[in-house]
Structure 1
Amino acid sequence: MVGPSSIFKISRSSARQFDLLRWFAFTSLVCVVLFGSGSALLLGRALTRNTLERDAAVSAAFVESIMRAEETWVYFVDPKSAAAKEPLESFFKHVSRMPGVVRANVYSTDGTVLWSSDAALIGRRFLENHELQEALRGRIVVESGEVGDHKEEHIELSPGTGGSRFMEAYLPVRNAAGTEVIGVVEIYRLPENLFQAIDRDLRLVWMVIGCGAAMLYGALFGVVAYARKVMARQQEQLVEAEALAAIGAIASTVAHGLRNPLASIRSSAELARMEDDPERDQCLADIMRESDRLDGWVRDLLLQAREEAIAGGQADANRLVEASASDHAAVAERQGVHIDVRPGRVPPVRGNPGALRPALDNLVLNAIEAMPSGGDLILETMLAEGGKQVEIRVIDSGTGLPPALHKGLPRLFYSTKARGTGLGLVLTRRIVQGFGGSLRFDTGRGRGTSAIIALPVAA
């Protein structure tokens, strides 16, 4: 049979086997970096391509305006005619003066170089020039690269000519009607200013995508970290509920056997009080009162174990503190603990006095036991900031809570006592939470512990 503590250990062991936050941090970082880098590369290439194509389109419009002004179409129809010589010279004079141009070629429709700034290329054909074939089909073609990376028809360009990167544009030339491609103008440029502008834009793209990726990763990491915390809390609550359900089954049997003897004790005390003896009457009255309190505590324990609601109502925090101090005065005195009650001016709180007393008694007894050599125990009430809650503080001068309880609330089955069950603080927390309150600790090694119950003010 698997007991509640076994369930708790199995659950925590399983949680340690898979660290959600660690795996998410690694996999999401890899995915965000890959996605961001890929996006930046694609956007960078698209930006570079669009900028160069836009610049080539401007050059094509410039060439076309020159052709319309000089009426150069005849050169492409009959390049050997004398009538074409003057327009030809004028045309290439304008082309050679375009910004950044270091070389130009003119091709006929069969791929022959009709004119070139390099006379050695005139009359040659380059059959493997795919860019030229695309341009002859009417499309502006742009290429770029580092100086020194050239094809067969390229000339060797030196960085000293104006830059380290070149731009090569194939510009289709159409007839006067604009219906047919009659040639191609190939222009080589070293537009260093254009490439510097592209580089600035690329840096901006990388910076924006980098910042966006970092913000996305941070947001996702924060969400998962919070989800992990919530899941861990819910898992502990689930384990606690399972364990308390098992305890509830046992408590039902124990309570059934315990409440019958309590009823007999109380009945015997009532019968004995019929005899006239004042001192004995006082002792019997104490027996009856404590029997009633024990019966109420067993009933509330059953309700908590079964997760049934305890009847609500209002409670006087000062009376709770004073009653608890009075009930435990003898125990505290035997242990050399001085109890100082400091009631404040506070309104009634939401809660059932019969249920809140065991919760407060647990804290008071724990505080007394934390001072085996004596000390000071302060029980005080005060209105919390905002006036919406009342705080009941149990402050001892003991050794402080162990590191296991420094952060967070007490865990089920965890106890620092040799024979402790770890149920006291858990049940205290559940009782307080049942009335919409909270339980927290302020502690440190060697400076005592403050157990603080915060309860909402009764409506």
Structure 2
Amino acid sequence: MGFREWFGTEAKTIGIVQYDLLRWFSLVSVLIITLVALGLGFIASRFIVNESIQRDAALTAQFIQSLASTEIGTHHLPQHQMGEMLDPRADLVYANVTRSKRQVARREFLEHIENIARQPDTLLITIYAPDNVVIWSSNPALIGTKVIEDDQLNESFATKSRVFATYHDVVPEREEQKFPRPPKGFFIENYIPMLNASGDAVAMIEIYKEPSDLVARTQHGYILMWLATSAGGALIYLALYRIVRRASGILAAQQKQIMQNEAFVAMGEMSAAVAHSLRNPLASIRSSAELVQELAPPAFQRNVTDIISQVDRMSTWVRDLLTTASPSAATAEPVDPLAAIHGTLAAYQPQIRACQVDVELSLPDTAQPVVSQRVLLLQVLNSLVSNALEAMPKGGKLGIELSKGGDERTIAIIVSDTGNGMSDAQRKRLYQPFTTTKQGGLGVGLVMVKRIMERFGGSVDIHSKQHEGTRVELKLQLAG
């Protein structure tokens, strides 16, 4: 395996196991919020329905008990309760009340009950004696019958309190559910105990109602409740999604930075080994080549010159590796950007002439110093100008511009060329170490540029399009 291939393989092995936080949050949070919203919606809607039905049943019981109290007052029976008057079989028990007076009070009360039974939402009203015999019903066929098994009826007689039940279908086993008309759907059953003066339950009024208006209102409440629950769940999800998306972006950026740092650590270790292994041999080779150059005949001069050139090239690779992987503790200093630009152009004048490249400058007369190091800023500009010249081997235009940055504390150096540019795939791998499209290149030039710029609080932005050239914008912090 070659030198560069070894580096590329090593760099690819450095990384962190990816965890798609945003994807898993989206799936899990939607599931949890949906389940919670459905649960809350179901509980809340059931609570509203039960409360509404219970309230309606309680109001019905209060209304009937109010009618009973009114009839007792109308007939001047202060020592008695209407429950004592409802069973005709007990007319002779209460000797202090005449039979005719009891019958009149009972008849008038039952007329009120019958009026209630005629209401559209009432299915059936039945009155039971303590022995479970039907003493009156809006369905005459039930009068005189006896209910054998009715747990709710027995419970209401035993507890002397109202018992409430709901049904969605007629229960065949409930012999008292003989409705004059079948219910269309949901209906309720309400047992209302009628007490005597001693507080004992002496009669029980059973009312079956099909509260269509109440059902319509509860259905409307269902819709509002589900809409509110859905909207609340959606708002919670969107808010959490936005937070997690931002956190995921931050984690991805940090993860990317960690991967780059690990790659740079590997570069540092390898560059130290390369420098240790190659620096002295390269110096010996160059010295020997220079000695041979002085003694060799003209026919060998070109070959010796090539040897020296290639040795210098390898030395440059080693220096670039060391610069890229060096620790970021370098001390910043004020640097004149104009001097750095002119110094770079002066160093590359031979190559500029050889490539027949026209240089277009847009520079002010003076410029405020920037935060960097002179040697490192020169390396950045040298790398960019070298890349531009290599992209224009048959001529073109090299542009260098110095302008204000995005705010008052930054300045921008823009280097552009009219070379071949880069493809989309190449742009995506711009800052990957040891990745290059140049024949014999090492792939650390732009990595070095980015690392140096970030070291001093700056940034690098590259715009390139294939066959249209490349534009590199360096943003540096102003000194002072």
Shift of 1:49: 0.9
Distance 1:301 1:316 in 2: 26
1:430 counterpart SS class: helix
Whether 1:155 and 2:182 are equivalent positions in the alignment is: no
Distance 1:96 1:358 in 2: 104
Relative distance call for 1:9 and 1:130 in structure 2 (3 A) is farther
CA contact (8 A) 2:324 2:444 kept: no
Match of 1:388 in 2: 409
Distance 2:361 2:180 in 1: 95
Distance 2:390 2:110 in 1: 104
Relative distance call for 1:258 and 1:202 in structure 2 (3 A) is same
CA contact (8 A) 1:131 1:170 kept: no
Task: List alignment gaps of at least 5 residues for structure 1.
Answer: 266-290
CA contact (8 A) 2:125 2:138 kept: yes
Task: List alignment gaps of at least 5 residues for structure 2.
Answer: 73-81, 92-98, 287-311
Q: Please say which of residues 124-133 and 56-65 is displaced more in the overlay.
A: 124-133
Q: 2:236 aligns with which of 199, 216, 220?
A: 216
Q: Deviations over 1:355-380 (max 9, x none)?
A: 22212322222233233443222211
Shift of 1:14: 4.6
Q: How much is the aligned-residue C-alpha RMSD, in angstroms?
A: 3.6
Distance 1:7 1:205 in 2: 59
Q: Please say which of residues 144-153 and 225-234 is displaced more in the overlay.
A: 144-153
Match of 2:299 in 1: none
Count of residues in Structure 1 that have an aligned counterpart in Structure 2: 425
Q: 1:444 aligns with which of 465, 470, 479?
A: 465
Distance 2:56 2:430 in 1: 68
Shift of 1:118: 0.7
Whether 1:74 and 2:84 are equivalent positions in the alignment is: yes
Larger Rg: 2
Amino acid at match of 2:64: V
CA contact (8 A) 1:103 1:188 kept: yes
Relative distance call for 1:144 and 1:328 in structure 2 (3 A) is farther
Whether 1:85 and 2:103 are equivalent positions in the alignment is: yes
CA contact (8 A) 1:397 1:449 kept: yes
Shift of 1:8: 4.3
**Identity fraction in percent:** 27
Amino acid at match of 1:232: A
Amino acid at match of 2:178: I
Whether 1:107 and 2:128 are equivalent positions in the alignment is: yes
Distance 1:133 1:321 in 2: 103
Match of 1:351 in 2: 372
Q: Write the mapping of 1:400-419 to structure 2, written as runs, cut at 5 A.
A: 400-404=421-425, 406=427, 410-419=431-440
Shift of 1:343: 1.8
Match of 1:169 in 2: 189
CA contact (8 A) 2:86 2:106 kept: no
Relative distance call for 1:127 and 1:405 in structure 2 (3 A) is farther
Relative distance call for 1:75 and 1:175 in structure 2 (3 A) is same
Match of 1:333 in 2: 353
Amino acid at match of 2:177: H
1:419 counterpart SS class: coil
Relative distance call for 1:430 and 1:70 in structure 2 (3 A) is same
Match of 1:9 in 2: 12
Relative distance call for 1:353 and 1:13 in structure 2 (3 A) is closer
1:411 counterpart SS class: coil
Distance 1:177 1:450 in 2: 102
Match of 1:286 in 2: none
Shift of 1:139: 4.9
Q: 1:117 aligns with which of 127, 138, 141?
A: 138
Whether 1:422 and 2:465 are equivalent positions in the alignment is: no
Distance 1:188 1:140 in 2: 14
Q: Please say which of residues 404-413 and 302-311 is displaced more in the overlay.
A: 404-413
Relative distance call for 1:218 and 1:149 in structure 2 (3 A) is farther
Match of 1:272 in 2: none
Q: 1:207 aligns with which of 202, 224, 227?
A: 227
1:367 counterpart SS class: helix
Distance 2:7 2:271 in 1: 14
Distance 2:89 2:460 in 1: 98
Relative distance call for 1:59 and 1:251 in structure 2 (3 A) is same
Match of 1:65 in 2: 66
Match of 1:248 in 2: 268
Amino acid at match of 2:399: I
CA contact (8 A) 1:166 1:190 kept: yes
Q: Write the mapping of 1:285-300 to structure 2, written as runs, cut at 5 A.
A: 298=319
Q: Please say which of residues 100-109 and 127-136 is displaced more in the overlay.
A: 127-136
Q: 2:329 aligns with which of 281, 285, 309?
A: 309
Shift of 1:203: 0.7
Distance 2:461 2:360 in 1: 21
Match of 2:75 in 1: none
Amino acid at match of 1:74: E
Match of 1:275 in 2: none
Distance 2:6 2:180 in 1: 84
Match of 1:283 in 2: none
Q: Write the mapping of 1:45-60 to structure 2, written as runs, cut at 5 A.
A: 45-60=46-61
Match of 2:95 in 1: none
CA contact (8 A) 1:359 1:428 kept: yes
Q: Deviations over 1:31-54 (max 9, x none)?
A: 332222222222221111111111
CA contact (8 A) 1:148 1:157 kept: no
Relative distance call for 1:168 and 1:324 in structure 2 (3 A) is same
Give TM-score scaled by structure 2 length. Answer: 0.76
Match of 1:227 in 2: 247
Distance 2:187 2:12 in 1: 69
1:324 counterpart SS class: helix
